[in-house]
Chains A and B, each alone.
Chain A
Amino acid sequence: MSDFSGTLTTDERIASPGLLTRLAVRPEIGALIGALVVFVFFTVITSQFVTLAGISTWMDTSATIGIVSVAVALLMIGGEFDLSAGVMTASTSLVTAMLSVKLGVNVWLAIVVSLVFALAVGAFNGWLVMRTKLPSFIVTLGTFFALQGINLGVTTLVTGTVQVSGIATAPGYASAGYLFASTFTLGGSPFPISIVWWVVVTALAAWLLVRTRFGNWIFAVGGSAASSRAVGVPVGRSKILLFMTTAGAAWLVGTINILRFTTVQANQGIGLEFEYIIAAVIGGCLLTGGFGSAIGAAIGALIFGMANQGIVYAHWNSDWFKLFLGIMLLAAVLVNNGFRARAERARR
């Protein structure tokens, strides 16, 4: 069985599929079309949208949603949800800020402690979901409220207010800020480094998902946990790792935020969890797991960022953004269900 590639010829029953048919089974194709439509729309009706400053602004908005939504997409493909991811961005900011401002800890160390905290909460989420066999929707809703309570409670207790600021004078701020919150210049215009992080996270996630063994397991545990277990895939471990990945992505955004704004509100981050999930769904993730794309989720986040800023540039009331979101979400779910039906159409 050394070389059999030569003896295998393409089966004549596969009518060479047309370009359109091949594209239609890619999960991210709907999002790509959506992104093009939104881009063209705001380019036409506003003047700032395609200026360098404009692009920088909506790319930044997209990046801070996209970093987490890509991780959430992996988790959703793995068959689970995380409603605590939004609040986690605030929790990690708060941990970093409090350690360096109140205890004088070096910012780098504070960031590492904050990462350990995030990974621990993620592991706890995963462990609890596997242990109780409850839907992750419920378990992480619990974590969502618990973190929200801790964020407010501890912040009030320690600072007497509902915010922590002053990290800019802490030791290690300059070098950490360079890595997480600086800007780079492109065509004479500044772009935040968050965009680079977003691209790196997306590329890593996409590579992991389709090129590695763990990626194969992500699809499998989301598509059918019982079948995966039967062939020896470590289902519990894989899912716990995915919850930790999501928490880790939230930590990255939390770190970017605290270093950039140097202040954090204890009630930040609430509501973002839905934006992450919506971006992942727009990007082609099935709500039922087992199907989706990391690049799709990044494009979903891009649609988000463009619409969010486009509406501002068009001088519309931002309330319309929510309406837009709702419509996009419904349209995406309907399109995704169509794809799934095509992908798993059974011929009994």
Chain B
Amino acid sequence: MSALLEVRDVGKTYGSVIALRDVSTVVNAGEVTCVLGDNGAGKSTLIKILAGLHQHDAGQFLVDGEPVQLSSPREALDRGIATVYQDLAVVPLMSVWRNFFLGSEPTKGFGPFRVLDRRKAKDETRWALADMGIDLRDAEQPVGTLSGGERQCVAIARAVHFGAKVLILDEPTAALGVKQAGVVLKYVAQARDRGLGVVLITHNPHHAYPVGNRFLLLKRGRSLGSFDKKDISLEELTRQMAGGAELEALQHELRGAAQ
């Protein structure tokens, strides 16, 4: 069986900036592939390629074993790849149900008199969120009145509800407190357990390690490797993330300064 998504030595340049080079990893059903790296490492560039916002200009990108160039987010969605962006997950001024069905609105009637099936949309929103264990107060309330974690959860539940096979999450926990980040990670694990392939972008190894099956480490646009969980410990992950030897040198320096 081929992987849901696979990249082989993909690369991407913006003009003269090499944002990504020779990156390889896979995303399997029911597994979480974490992409870790410092700011500017190329994490967003990689997922923009997976999500159809940008096109890679080197290497191969395979969906279900078939090489593709996705030309739009719509095409990615049609192939079952849904992306939740940190700040772009929802439209704050719109109600929860309008957000939930945005782009996939249920309609009734026919021809020019086709209208939104508002009742169905509202009921299904509450039902789908309840099914993910998200307890919604009111489907009519603007999403902006939800907390940051709740907003991420609505976006995740939406992707799951619309039958995504692959769920890409760009730093879903970055702006959240410890407790809220935990809640979001719980839904990530839930999506995984439902058989979705998840790509989780983060720069926090402590968020990645508990839910991840595979860890792709990026640094300045290059891959430091794609490790299975059994091949890497949390300590090693943290050390690699922080720049390994550089961090040890820094610790040494700080210790020296303190004395």
Contacts and interface: CB of A to CB of B under 8 A. Distances in A.
Interface of A: 1, 4-5, 8, 11, 13-14, 211-213, 215-217, 219-220, 223-224, 226-234, 290-291, 340, 343-348
Contacts of B137: 11, 13-14
B91 A232 contact: no
Contacts of A232: 73-74, 77, 103-104
18 contacts: A13-B137, A211-B115, A211-B118, A213-B107, A216-B94, A216-B101, A219-B91, A219-B94, A219-B98, A220-B98, A220-B102, A229-B73, A230-B53, A230-B88, A231-B73, A231-B77, A346-B145, A347-B147
A287 to B, nearest CB: 13
B136 A11 contact: yes
Nearest to A11: B137
Given A345-B144, A347-B145, A228 B102 contact: yes
Contact of B105 (A213, A229, A291, A347): A213
A212 B89 CA distance: 22
B91 A1 contact: no
A348 B114 CA distance: 38
A48 to B, nearest CB: 42
B92 A1 contact: no
B94 to A, nearest CB: 5
A248 to B, nearest CB: 16
Given A232-B73, A348-B148, A8 B105 contact: no
Interface residues of B, number: 42
Contact of B85 (A216, A230, A346): A230
B93 interface: yes
A33 to B, nearest CB: 22
Given A228-B103, A231-B103, A346-B145, A5 B123 contact: yes
B126 interface: yes
> Chain A interface secondary structure, helix, strand, loop or mixed?
loop
A223 B94 contact: yes
Contacts of A215: 116
Shortest beta-carbon contacts, A-B, top 7: A344-B144, A223-B91, A231-B103, A232-B103, A227-B88, A232-B74, A290-B93
B107 to A, nearest CB: 6
Interface string B59-77: 0000000000000011001
A54 to B, nearest CB: 38
Given A1-B124, A232-B73, A233-B102, 10 more contacts: A216-B101, A223-B93, A224-B92, A227-B85, A227-B88, A227-B89, A230-B73, A230-B83, A232-B103, A344-B144
Given A232-B73, A232-B74, A347-B145, A220 B123 contact: no
B228 interface: no
Interface in B96-129: 98, 101-105, 107, 114-116, 118-119, 123-124, 126-127
B144 A227 contact: no
Contact of B116 (A213, A220, A233): A213
B91 A227 contact: yes
Given A232-B77, A345-B145, A348-B148, A4 B127 contact: yes
Given A211-B115, A212-B115, A233-B103, A290 B144 contact: no
B77 A346 contact: no
A224 B91 contact: yes
B146 interface: yes
